[in-house]
Structure 1
Amino acid sequence: MPLTVCIDDQQPCYSGNETIRGRITFQTPKPIDIQDIRVTFSGCAKAKVQKVKGSAAPTTSYRSKCVLFEKERILWHPSDTIAPGTYEWPFEFAFPSQVLSGSSRWPETLPFRSDANHPLPPTFAAETADALRKLNCTIDYQIQAQVFSPQQGFLGRKSPLFSEVVRLKFIPVSARLDVKRDGNSAVYQHQKEQVFNLRSMLLLPENRGRSLKLQERIQSWLSPGQLPRFSFKASFTYPSRVIQSTPLACSLEITPFMEDSSVTSPPEILMQSLSITVLSQTGARAAPSLMGALSGQVDERIEILSKTSLGMPVSGTVDLVQAFGPLVFRHTDVSFGTFNISRTYRLCASFVFECAGNTKSFDLPNLPIEIFAEFGEPDKIQSSVEHLPEDDSPPSYTSASTLSTRTFEKS
Structure 2
Amino acid sequence: MGLTKTTNSPGLSFDFNHPRAQYSPGDVISGHVVLNTAADAAIGTVTVSFWGRAKSRIIQQHGQSASYHRGRTRFFHLEKVLYEGQYTHKPGSFSWPFDFVVPNQADQGCILPGGSSSSEKWKPKEHYRSNLDENKNNNELDLNLPPSMSHSRMNMGRKADCFIEYVLEATLTEPRGIHQFRGPKTKTSTYPIIFNPLSTPEPIQNYDLVTEERLFTISTLKLLPEHAGTSLGIRDRARSLFQKDTVPRFSFSLTVQAPSVIQLFHPKPLPFLITIQPDLRPENTTIDTSTSLPEVVLRSVKIELKTEVRCRAPGTYADTKTYEIPILSIRHLTRPLTFAKGLSGPDESTLDLGSLYDLRVGNAKLGSKVETPLCPNFTSYNVTREYYLTWELEVECAEKTERFSSPRSPPQCTVLLPPATACMDGYNPNPLLGADLAQAASTASRDSEDGHSFWSRRKSGEGRGEKEKPSFSSLGLDSRSSGKKPKTKAEEAAEERQADFTSDVDEGMNADSNSSVSDQDFNSRRTRGAHGADQPPPRYVP
The TM tier, using the shorter chain, reads: 0.7 to 0.9
| Letter in structure 1 aligned against 2:320 | Q
Equivalent residue, structure 2, for 1:70? 77
Residue 268 (structure 1) aligned with residue 312 (structure 2): no
Write the distance in 1 (CA, Å) between the matches of 2:19 and 2:362. Answer: 31
Equivalent residue, structure 1, for 2:152? 127
Instruction: Indicate how the Cα distance of structure 1 residues 87 and 322 shifts in structure 2: closer, same or farther if over 3 A, else same.
Output: closer
Equivalent residue, structure 2, for 1:281? 308
SS of aligned partner of 1:388: helix
Write the distance in 1 (CA, Å) between the matches of 2:61 and 2:221. Answer: 54
Equivalent residue, structure 2, for 1:354? 396
More helix by share: 2
Equivalent residue, structure 1, for 2:23? 14
1:43-92 CA deviation, whole Å, 9 max, x = no partner?
11122234488xx8665442222211101122223245444443322223
Equivalent residue, structure 2, for 1:92? 99
Write the distance in 1 (CA, Å) between the matches of 2:236 and 2:182. Answer: 89
**1:349 Cα offset (Å):** 0.6
SS of aligned partner of 2:435: helix
Equivalent residue, structure 1, for 2:505? none
1:313 corresponds to which of 332, 336, 350: 336
Equivalent residue, structure 2, for 1:37? 46
**1:134 Cα offset (Å):** 3.8
1:272-293 CA deviation, whole Å, 9 max, x = no partner?
222111112111111x2xxx44
**1:138 Cα offset (Å):** 2.0
Instruction: Indicate how the Cα distance of structure 1 residues 375 and 235 shifts in structure 2: closer, same or farther if over 3 A, else same.
Output: same
Write the distance in 2 (CA, Å) between the matches of 1:79 and 1:368. Answer: 58
Residue 149 (structure 1) aligned with residue 174 (structure 2): yes
Residue 178 (structure 1) aligned with residue 178 (structure 2): no
Equivalent residue, structure 2, for 1:401? none
More strand by share: 1
**1:242 Cα offset (Å):** 1.3
Q: Counterparts in 2 of 1:215-254, with a 5 A limit?
A: 215-246=235-266, 247-254=269-276
2:161 corresponds to which of 131, 136, 141: 136
Contact residue 373 and residue 380 of structure 1 kept, 8 A: no
Write the distance in 2 (CA, Å) between the matches of 1:49 and 1:305. Answer: 34
1:169-202 CA deviation, whole Å, 9 max, x = no partner?
21112xx13335x4x33x5222222111232222
1:356-405 CA deviation, whole Å, 9 max, x = no partner?
34321101153522211123269758843322245577xxxxxxxxxxxx
Instruction: Indicate how the Cα distance of structure 1 residues 219 and 52 shifts in structure 2: closer, same or farther if over 3 A, else same.
Output: farther
Residue 333 (structure 1) aligned with residue 375 (structure 2): yes
Equivalent residue, structure 2, for 1:167? 192
**1:160 Cα offset (Å):** 5.7
1:252-271 CA deviation, whole Å, 9 max, x = no partner?
11111112422222312122
Write the distance in 1 (CA, Å) between the matches of 2:324 and 2:61. Answer: 20
Write the distance in 1 (CA, Å) between the matches of 2:173 and 2:157. Answer: 43
Higher relative contact order (CA 8 A, sep 6+): 1
**1:326 Cα offset (Å):** 3.5
Write the distance in 1 (CA, Å) between the matches of 2:27 and 2:433. Answer: 23
SS of aligned partner of 1:97: coil
Contact residue 99 and residue 116 of structure 1 kept, 8 A: no
Residue 345 (structure 1) aligned with residue 345 (structure 2): no
Contact residue 270 and residue 355 of structure 2 kept, 8 A: no
Equivalent residue, structure 2, for 1:297? 320
Equivalent residue, structure 2, for 1:28? 37
Write the distance in 2 (CA, Å) between the matches of 1:302 and 1:171. Answer: 21
Write the distance in 1 (CA, Å) between the matches of 2:52 and 2:403. Answer: 47
Equivalent residue, structure 1, for 2:141? 116
SS of aligned partner of 1:220: helix
**1:129 Cα offset (Å):** 4.7
Structure 1 gaps of 5+ residues are: 394-409
SS of aligned partner of 1:78: strand
**1:351 Cα offset (Å):** 0.9
- TM-score of the superposed pair, with normalisation by structure 2: 0.63
SS of aligned partner of 1:215: helix
Structure 2 gaps of 5+ residues are: 1-9, 114-120, 131-139, 339-348, 365-373, 423-427, 446-453, 456-542
Contact residue 34 and residue 149 of structure 1 kept, 8 A: yes
Residue 384 (structure 1) aligned with residue 433 (structure 2): yes
Contact residue 264 and residue 361 of structure 2 kept, 8 A: no
Instruction: Indicate how the Cα distance of structure 1 residues 325 and 143 shifts in structure 2: closer, same or farther if over 3 A, else same.
Output: closer
Equivalent residue, structure 1, for 2:522? none
Write the distance in 1 (CA, Å) between the matches of 2:421 and 2:148. Answer: 16
Contact residue 252 and residue 319 of structure 1 kept, 8 A: yes
SS of aligned partner of 1:76: strand
SS of aligned partner of 2:108: coil
Write the distance in 1 (CA, Å) between the matches of 2:301 and 2:321. Answer: 25
1:97-116 CA deviation, whole Å, 9 max, x = no partner?
11112435312323223353
Write the distance in 2 (CA, Å) between the matches of 1:116 and 1:341. Answer: 16
- TM-score of the superposed pair, with normalisation by structure 1: 0.82
1:96-155 CA deviation, whole Å, 9 max, x = no partner?
011112435312323223353521111212334556864322221121101123579xxx
Equivalent residue, structure 1, for 2:509? none
Equivalent residue, structure 2, for 1:400? none
**1:303 Cα offset (Å):** 1.6
Write the distance in 2 (CA, Å) between the matches of 1:356 and 1:245. Answer: 40
Instruction: Indicate how the Cα distance of structure 1 residues 159 and 67 shifts in structure 2: closer, same or farther if over 3 A, else same.
Output: farther
Instruction: Indicate how the Cα distance of structure 1 residues 24 and 218 shifts in structure 2: closer, same or farther if over 3 A, else same.
Output: same
Equivalenced residue count is 381
Instruction: Indicate how the Cα distance of structure 1 residues 233 and 381 shifts in structure 2: closer, same or farther if over 3 A, else same.
Output: farther
Instruction: Indicate how the Cα distance of structure 1 residues 220 and 16 shifts in structure 2: closer, same or farther if over 3 A, else same.
Output: same
| Letter in structure 1 aligned against 2:380 | T
Write the distance in 1 (CA, Å) between the matches of 2:94 and 2:61. Answer: 51
Instruction: Indicate how the Cα distance of structure 1 residues 34 and 327 shifts in structure 2: closer, same or farther if over 3 A, else same.
Output: closer
SS of aligned partner of 2:107: coil
Query: Percent identity over the alignment?
Result: 25
